[in-house]
Structure 1
Amino acid sequence: MARAAHLWRRAGFGLDAEQVERLTVEGAQAGVRRLVRNAIEAGEPPRPSWADLSRPPRSASAAQRREYEEANRLGQREAREHLVLEALGARHPGSPLRERLALLWHSVIPVDGSATGGRSHRVHEYWSVLRRNALGRYDAIVREVGLTQAMLVYLNGNQNRSGQPNENYARELLELFTMGITDLSGAPNYTQQDITELSRALTGWTVSGTLLEAEFVDRRFDDSDKTVFGVSGPLDYDGAIDVIFSARRRPIAEYVASRLYREFVHDTPNTQVVAELADVLEGADFVVMDAVVALLSSAHFFSDGVMGSKIKGALEHSVGIVATLAPSDPLPHAQRTIRNGGEAGQSPFNPPDVSGWDTGRRWLDTSTLPARWLNSDDLIGRSTLAQDFVRSLPDPFDPYAVVADSAQILVAVPISDADGGQALEILLAGIPDYEWDPTAATAPGRIRSMLRFLARLPEFQLV
């Protein structure tokens, strides 16, 4: 049961008791493959109307412009809401892995909301690329993201032209999006000359205010020869991406393997496991699914030093509470979940910088940890979530079982006897244990207080 719960927490958000029971019966390898299959079968959510909003012409009336701006604001809001609802399995239960990976790629290859210019179709285009390719080929993610309008604006690709190259995107493409500054041995992966030449190959693409996709303009493209990683010729965008993934195949495999390891296993990569995972990625032509299956079904993933050893991300913390307490009706809590995640340091489409979000202990400081406490207090206190959760437990009329089961579901590692005893005292609030009744008028307040206590424990921050 503990191994199945560990798998679900790391591959998704929070804990779903029914899914854990099923994973326990299936075993690790079959369970992982089912999670992957579910994620693939989830497919694409319906395309929202605001994803096709183009800017009104200059002849548009003031009323038409206001309507456009209002639709864009709604789209920006709904983009975040849809992200959270997909993570909570509102449309396709049992498939959180795709959203988990899409959020990882959002941190590896981020764009800032300011780059969208308030245009919701840019958010949708960017997120759709990450989500659609989340389990597919990593080179496809890189290739497609670079030509989204949001990325072209964010890292100045739309300003990169023949005779006036802008190196911003080329530099981040190598340093943060594909291979890192050095490989696992510490050897440099590229030179400044590679960045300079690469930036020339990436010229020609721009963003139009009236089009929904990037536009290639011939006169902006540098069609002269460039030399990138020893390959010379009149390289263009696609040719440059091909060269990067062929000439630096191993460093990229190691880099992506390292990011997958940090997401699913531990914040400090195990070099041997990362190297083995890089072998899988190389052999699978960078298909992420193969690496994820290998990693999540490995003995290392289920080792004692790994289970319960990671600090939850801010959005993972916020989404996980709702996923655990309200798995069947997450919609009313979506916007609050997004707000709470932002207050704790992670707002979708608003990364702190181009390197994405920090992980590990950097998630917690004197500001974000109290924000997490207040956010868990808030979510637990909403409507009848807490009471419904306790009533769903195997033995809700046994206060000792209520505390033990609640702790096992909410907390990834065992809590101390002292904390368990204090949780029981909070639940009973002075009454004898034999008088405990979850349907009593005073029970909801005591249940909320007990769950809030558990959610403020240091162990609750771990996954």
Structure 2
Amino acid sequence: MASLNPLTSNLDQRKAKHLLRRATFNFSKNQLNSFIGLTPESAVNSLFTPTTNTLAEPYDPLPADAPDGFWTSATALPNSFDNQPRKRAIVTGWWWYNAMNETSLKHKLSFFLHTCFTVAKDDGAGAATYYYDYLRLLDFYAFGSIKTLAKKMTLDNAMLEYLDNTRNNKNNPNENYAREFLELFTILEGEQIGAGNYTNYTEIDIQQAAKVLSGYKKQEDRSIIDAETGLPTGYINEELHDTDNKTFSAAFGGATITGRETPTDILDELSDFVDMVFSQEETAKAYCRKLYRYFVKSNWDEEVETDIITPLAQELISNDYNIEPIVKTLLCSQHFYDADDTDSSDEIIGSIIKNPMQHLSEMCAMFNVTYPDPNTDALNFYNTFFYRFIHNAYFSYAGMGFFSPEEVAGYPAYYQEPLYDRNWFSSNTIIGRYRLVESFIAGENTISNGDTYALLDTVKFVEDNIVNASDPVLLVTEIADLLYPEAIDEDRTNYFKSFLVEEGFPDYYWTGTWNNYLSSNDNVTVKIRLDALITAMVNAAEFQLM
């Protein structure tokens, strides 16, 4: 039976790997070792420890003769700066660098909230600075209330621009945001039961919601600061707000929201609307299904729906949609570690294909890939390494518009059945994945040509992390235990060993080669073989899974 009862045994290596991969982007051997032996509760609690960003704000090192620098804190209007597409990429590079320097659930949950309240940075979200504020809003509520975030998101300048709600007026309604708020961001449609009529809401509800949300405007100079978050926010033009009462369909019990006239009261009207939507059990279930798909598995049966999704939804409602206790319950549960049954056909560990960001981040953290420090070499970190190589080459070829999904619904991996996370891996995206490790090892962009300013030193990785490096079998086994969710069998071990010892030759040929390197410091031969081994192991099917 699927169970949310807590796992009481301590984490072994297999379970610690599972938790760290699913809960963080910064997965290294040192971090893994620090989690082995902890109880799930202790490990998960440590991942909820509040953190401070390593980089306070992004930096644009261009133009070279007069850099725009910390433009997000400048007093000039955000859209007055040139090269907005590059600046939006820089903002996501700032976010990724912070995620890579914390072993915390904050950024994992922040990205989850991005999949719930999607704003695509390169598809109508406005200036880069507004997107910076949007990402900070997600970070602020990563451990907080999804319901409160839904209210704050309505006044987010990037969201106001992205879904046109800044153009939604009482005399000229624009239903884009209202529609997506119900259809994608909160309660979801449910089954269609008639023309313009879904189980969870109707077209009438969208029309009424648009009236509730009328008069909300983008504040271009970011001069209005929200008292609770400390972040720039939009404003309400009461002259353009529909002050009539709004009556909703039977899907919401025929509720009527009283129209208001002043900005303060109109915010209360928004709160009434959000409270109405979030009082529905289907809203809570929608978020819990998304959490399950994000952290556990893309597909599930009625048992999981009954024993996992439903009680999590009830807990979410009872906690006023505070995300932290629900995620703790899930990540500490027997079910999360696949310890609640003996069915080998529904394994959870190793069941999800990594998204390209997870693939990149694990590689950088585990292999200690060196890349420029944005604090001391901003030009090469932001412009050469992240913008040109990671953002424009790797993410593009790996099929992930970084923080810029093609649809308002978000990335297909998180909503499009029946493939879900299988959407990440196809003949179209394989080049980006496979050539990433090659680029790191070569120190040059083999995906689309150019520089990387990043390097993976396979010899140093082995010397620093592998205890039995002189034994080819143990060397392969130890690396596999770090890289893969599950142990590999003898056939796979022998396959990978062939990159170190040619077929027909005894194992001591590698032992002698390694020991010669240690005594002479001549790494030419071991580097050739280890480069080939690591490339093969990273590009193997096992590394694509978590």
Q: Same fold (TM over 0.5)?
A: yes
CA distance 1:108–1:117, change in 2 (3 Å): closer
Gaps of 5+ in 1: 59-64
Structure 1 residue 166 displacement after superposition: 0.8
* CA contact 1:322–1:330 (8 Å) conserved in 2: no
In 1, Cα distance between equivalents of 2:115 and 2:348: 22
Specify the alignment match of 2:329 in structure 1: 294
Q: What per-residue deviation string (whole Å, max 9, x for no partner) do you get for residues 9-36 of structure 1?
A: 1111363222222222212111111111
Correspondence 1:198 to 2:209: yes
Q: What per-residue deviation string (whole Å, max 9, x for no partner) do you get for residues 28-55 of structure 1?
A: 1111111112xx2336852453223455
* CA contact 1:380–1:451 (8 Å) conserved in 2: no
Structure 1 residue 413 displacement after superposition: 2.4
Structure 1 residue 380 displacement after superposition: 4.1
Amino acid at match of 2:439: D
In 2, Cα distance between equivalents of 1:10 and 1:57: 35
* CA contact 1:53–1:120 (8 Å) conserved in 2: no
CA distance 1:156–1:247, change in 2 (3 Å): closer
Q: What per-residue deviation string (whole Å, max 9, x for no partner) do you get for residues 290-309 of structure 1?
A: 11100000000000611111
| Alignment equivalent of 1:227, drawn from 242, 247, 251 | 247
Specify the alignment match of 1:341 in structure 2: 395
In 1, Cα distance between equivalents of 2:268 and 2:411: 28
Specify the alignment match of 1:391 in structure 2: 463
Structure 1 segment 14-163 matched on structure 2, within 5 A: 15-37=27-49, 40-42=50-52, 45-48=55-58, 49-53=70-74, 55=76, 68-69=81-82, 72=84, 75-89=87-101, 93-95=102-104, 97-115=105-123, 119-163=127-171
CA distance 1:446–1:245, change in 2 (3 Å): farther
In 2, Cα distance between equivalents of 1:328 and 1:282: 44
Correspondence 1:361 to 2:418: no
Specify the alignment match of 2:9 in structure 1: none
In 1, Cα distance between equivalents of 2:38 and 2:82: 50
CA distance 1:345–1:73, change in 2 (3 Å): closer
In 2, Cα distance between equivalents of 1:367 and 1:83: 27
Structure 1 residue 233 displacement after superposition: 0.9
In 1, Cα distance between equivalents of 2:390 and 2:368: 12
TM-score by length of structure 1 reads 0.89
Amino acid at match of 2:397: E
Structure 1 residue 99 displacement after superposition: 0.9
* CA contact 1:202–1:237 (8 Å) conserved in 2: no
CA distance 1:380–1:175, change in 2 (3 Å): farther
SS at 2:317's partner residue? helix
In 2, Cα distance between equivalents of 1:254 and 1:286: 11
Amino acid at match of 2:135: W
Specify the alignment match of 1:459 in structure 2: 542
* CA contact 1:76–1:118 (8 Å) conserved in 2: no
Structure 1 residue 398 displacement after superposition: 2.7
Specify the alignment match of 2:299 in structure 1: 268
Deviates more, 1:330-339 or 1:281-290: 330-339
SS at 1:350's partner residue? coil
Structure 1 residue 74 displacement after superposition: 5.9
Structure 1 residue 400 displacement after superposition: 2.1
Identical columns (%): 24
Q: What per-residue deviation string (whole Å, max 9, x for no partner) do you get for residues 361-399 of structure 1?
A: 111221012321122322344434322211122233332
Structure 1 residue 321 displacement after superposition: 1.0
The answer to which structure has the higher helix fraction is: 1
Specify the alignment match of 1:370 in structure 2: 431
Correspondence 1:243 to 2:273: yes
In 2, Cα distance between equivalents of 1:328 and 1:44: 17
Aligned residues: 447
| Alignment equivalent of 1:188, drawn from 191, 195, 199 | 199
Amino acid at match of 1:419: R
CA distance 1:278–1:446, change in 2 (3 Å): same
Structure 1 residue 158 displacement after superposition: 0.9
Amino acid at match of 1:52: S
Deviates more, 1:13-22 or 1:157-166: 13-22
* CA contact 1:137–1:287 (8 Å) conserved in 2: yes
Deviates more, 1:332-341 or 1:299-308: 332-341
In 2, Cα distance between equivalents of 1:461 and 1:57: 39
SS at 2:122's partner residue? helix
The root-mean-square deviation of aligned C-alpha atoms, in Å, is: 2.7
In 2, Cα distance between equivalents of 1:57 and 1:120: 7
Deviates more, 1:126-135 or 1:432-441: 432-441
Deviates more, 1:98-107 or 1:201-210: 201-210
In 1, Cα distance between equivalents of 2:292 and 2:205: 28
Amino acid at match of 2:322: V
CA distance 1:327–1:456, change in 2 (3 Å): closer
SS at 1:80's partner residue? helix
In 1, Cα distance between equivalents of 2:198 and 2:430: 37
CA distance 1:275–1:291, change in 2 (3 Å): same
Correspondence 1:352 to 2:406: yes
Specify the alignment match of 1:218 in structure 2: 238
Structure 1 residue 203 displacement after superposition: 0.7
| Alignment equivalent of 1:284, drawn from 319, 324, 342 | 319
In 2, Cα distance between equivalents of 1:248 and 1:73: 35
In 1, Cα distance between equivalents of 2:427 and 2:268: 45
Q: What per-residue deviation string (whole Å, max 9, x for no partner) do you get for residues 88-145 of structure 1?
A: 11xxx422x1111111111221112235666221111110011111111001221222
SS at 1:46's partner residue? coil
* CA contact 2:168–2:214 (8 Å) conserved in 1: yes
Gaps of 5+ in 2: 1-12, 59-69, 224-232, 261-265, 339-343, 374-380, 414-420, 444-454
In 2, Cα distance between equivalents of 1:4 and 1:330: 30
